[in-house]
């Protein structure tokens, strides 16, 4: 890069282009999906196949690399059910996605959707919302912001409630969470944005409860659904999570219907978790996972060693977040190593963190065992991912979708958006897709899944079939 290029880059980095920004919903850009003909509404996969073409016009096409069409569920695999080659389809430069030269806009969108302020800088409660405490167990409640949808007379309306998981920091300071919460409430949904154990005001009031990266938080979110569905004027619940919150969303979608036999949970860990008997569906309105990390342990491998801010700015930024967390908790030898953080935070019994990693595993990792989660899901699940995601490789999504034919599971791979940067990339598409998916009249519904299918009602052991980095 020449001297002028370096100067221009420095100016951009100092400005707002690479910093968190609000992207509030413009109601005038909303596009309603037309309901499918026939008496029965479809499951998530068929619903997305109908909805995606109707919303395609809302995706930006101002950049040459964004002209490639998005791929939906069945397009992510071949006719014989194997994973498709999305690397070749989107001309992805694998291994170069953290480079400004090769993935400039992916990095921009990611930065604009990521909170850069310290979590101690508490934002004021959003207009139309109130601070509430959700009971989880005798000595633990979760801090949350609750906004009630209201009718034209100003009374609380009968409506579905959408639960939001803020993200890796787990608190309600994130602008994209605020923007989405306000938009959903204005659109007629009740909204509950939850601060998990170990985060935000929950951490302030209950500091002995550490964040366990989804292990105990999965059970917490089932109790959140039970609590909010027990409130007057609440019909169904839905859930949306970003990045690691997307992984948690996938697990919650599976766990709400898991059997009481403990299948899919390690025997020692199972003793500490609720049996979660099958019964009335939690999150029946559906679950949206934005930019999840199907093979998150490969990212954890990278974070074992300190990464360069110049060469790997995103991973280095994640490491800074982990390091600051370890410092704040007073853990020894603070670093950017997630495994070390989990070892300090999940201490119910010796090596509990290893069982935690296994429980949260969605796809096979090396020779370690994992259980099939997707085939046991009985509520609508939509996974939204970007081809230029520099944290979670896009090919992983195709590999994951090749493991299931569950009609309750759908996925869309967008040409752009980076990691969790879908709202900066395509705000009109983002809000329209979310609002239509959760719609009580045109959104998908749970559909019966063959009882004898692999993992239906439980989980089956998956073998390692890592085909990441096809098409290089």
Tens of pLDDT, residues 145-171: 999 999 999 999 999 999 999 877 678
What stretch of H or E contains 398? helix 394-401
- Statement: residue 240 has pLDDT above 70: yes
304 domain-assigned: no
Contacts of 38 (CB under 8 A, 6+ apart): none
d(CA 58, CA 28): 12
Coil vs helix vs strand at 269: helix
Indicate the pLDDT class of residue 68, thresholds 50, 70 and 90.
confident
Q: How confident is the model at residue 472 (pLDDT cuts 50, 70, 90)?
A: very low
Q: Is 368 among the domain residues? A: yes
Rounded Cα distance between 176 and 431, Å, is 11
Question: What's the domain count of the chain?
Answer: 1
Does position 464 have pLDDT exceeding 70, yes or no? Answer: no
The angle formed by the CA atoms of residues 374, 378 and 381, to the nearest 5 degrees, is 60
Q: Which domain holds residue 197?
A: 21-294+359-455
Three-class SS state of 190: strand
C-beta of residue 193 within 8 angstroms of C-beta of residue 181: yes
- Provide the angle, in degrees to the nearest 10, between the axes of the packed helices 44-55 and 427-437: 150
- Does the structure show a pLDDT above 80 at 461? no
How far is 69 from 40, CA to CA, in rounded Å?
29
Residue 434 lies in a domain: yes
Report pLDDT for 118.
60
- CA-to-CA distance for 437 and 41, rounded, in angstroms? 12
Task: Tell me whether residue 448 is in a domain.
Answer: yes
Domain membership flag for residue 280: yes
Residue-wise pLDDT tens digits, 267-326: 899 888 876 555 678 999 999 999 999 999 999 999 999 999 888 888 998 999 899 999
| Structure token pair of residue 298 | 């490969």
Buried b (16+ CB within 10 A) or exposed e, 419-432: bbbbbbbbbbbbbb
pLDDT at position 135, please? Answer: 96
**How many Cβ atoms sit within 10 Å of the Cβ of residue 140?**
18
Q: What is the CA radius of gyration of the chain?
A: 21
DSSP annotation string for 127-174: TTEEEEEEEEETTEEEEEEEE--B-TTSPBPPEEEEEEE--TT-STT-
347 part of a folded domain: no
The pLDDT value given to residue 261: 67
Inside any domain, residue 467: no
How far apart (Å, rounded) are the C-alpha atoms in residues 382 and 249? 10
102-129 pLDDT per residue, tens: 899 999 999 999 876 565 567 889 999 9
Coil/strand/helix, residue 347: coil
- With vertex at residue 262, the alpha carbon angle to CA 258 and CA 263, rounded to the nearest 5 degrees, is 75
Q: Residue 292 corresponds to which tokens in the numbers above?
A: 């999840």
Six-digit token string for 373: 């989660």
Place 61 in a pLDDT band, splitting at 50, 70 and 90: confident
| CATH code for position 132 | 3.40.50.1820
Per-residue pLDDT at 60 exceeds 60: yes
Residue 81 pLDDT more than 90? no
Mean pLDDT of the chain: 87
Q: Which residues pair with 165 in a beta bridge?
A: 241
- Within a domain: residue 131? yes
Residues 6+ apart with CB under 8 A from 163: 192, 193, 194, 221, 224, 225, 228, 237, 238, 239, 240, 283
Average of pLDDT values for 404-423? 95
């Amino acid at each position: 890069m020449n001297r002028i290029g370096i100067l221009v880059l420095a100016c951009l980095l100092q400005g707002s282009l690479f910093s968190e920004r609000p992207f509030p919903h413009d109601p005038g850009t909303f596009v309603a999906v037309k309901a499918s003909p026939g008496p029965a509404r479809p499951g998530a996969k068929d619903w997305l196949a109908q909805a995606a073409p109707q919303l395609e016009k809302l995706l930006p096409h101002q950049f040459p690399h964004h002209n490639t069409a998005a791929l939906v569920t069945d397009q992510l695999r071949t006719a014989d059910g194997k994973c498709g080659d999305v690397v070749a389809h989107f001309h992805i430069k694998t291994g170069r996605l953290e480079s400004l030269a090769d993935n400039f806009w992916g990095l921009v969108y990611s930065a604009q959707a990521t909170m850069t302020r310290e979590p101690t800088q508490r934002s004021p409660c959003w207009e139309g919302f109130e601070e509430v405490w959700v009971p989880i167990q005798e000595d633990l409640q979760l801090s949350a912001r609750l906004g009630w949808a209201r009718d034209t007379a100003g009374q609380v309306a009968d409506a579905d409630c959408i639960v939001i998981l803020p993200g890796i920091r787990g608190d309600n300071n994130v602008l994209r969470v605020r923007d989405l919460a306000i938009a959903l409430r204005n659109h007629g949904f009740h909204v509950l944005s939850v601060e998990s154990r170990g985060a935000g005001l929950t951490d302030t009031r209950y500091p002995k409860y550490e964040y366990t990266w989804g292990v105990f938080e999965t059970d917490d979110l089932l109790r959140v659904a039970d609590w909010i569905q027990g409130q007057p004027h609440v019909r169904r619940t839905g859930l949306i999570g970003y990045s690691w919150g997307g992984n948690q969303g996938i697990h919650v979608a599976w766990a709400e219907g898991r059997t009481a036999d403990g299948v899919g949970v390690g025997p020692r860990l199972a003793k500490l978790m609720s049996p979660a008997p099958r019964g009335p569906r939690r999150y029946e309105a559906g679950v949206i996972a934005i930019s999840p990390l199907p093979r998150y342990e490969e990212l954890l491998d990278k974070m074992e060693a300190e990464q360069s801010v110049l060469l790997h700015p995103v991973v280095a930024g994640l490491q800074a977040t982990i390091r600051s967390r370890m410092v704040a908790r007073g853990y020894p030898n603070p670093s950017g190593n997630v495994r070390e953080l989990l070892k300090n935070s999940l201490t119910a019994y010796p090596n509990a963190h290893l069982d935690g990693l296994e429980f949260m595993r969605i796809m096979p990792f090396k020779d370690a065992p994992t259980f099939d989660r997707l085939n046991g899901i009985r509520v609508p699940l939509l996974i939204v991912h970007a081809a230029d995601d520099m944290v979670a490789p896009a090919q992983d999504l195709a590999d994951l979708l090749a493991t299931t034919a569950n009609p309750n599971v759908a996925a869309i791979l967008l040409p752009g958006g980076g990691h969790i940067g879908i709202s900066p990339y395509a705000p009109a598409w983002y809000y329209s897709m979310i609002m239509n998916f959760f719609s009580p009249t045109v959104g998908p519904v749970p559909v019966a899944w063959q009882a004898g299918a692999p993992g239906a009602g439980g989980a089956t052991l998956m073998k390692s079939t890592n085909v990441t980095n096809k098409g290089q």
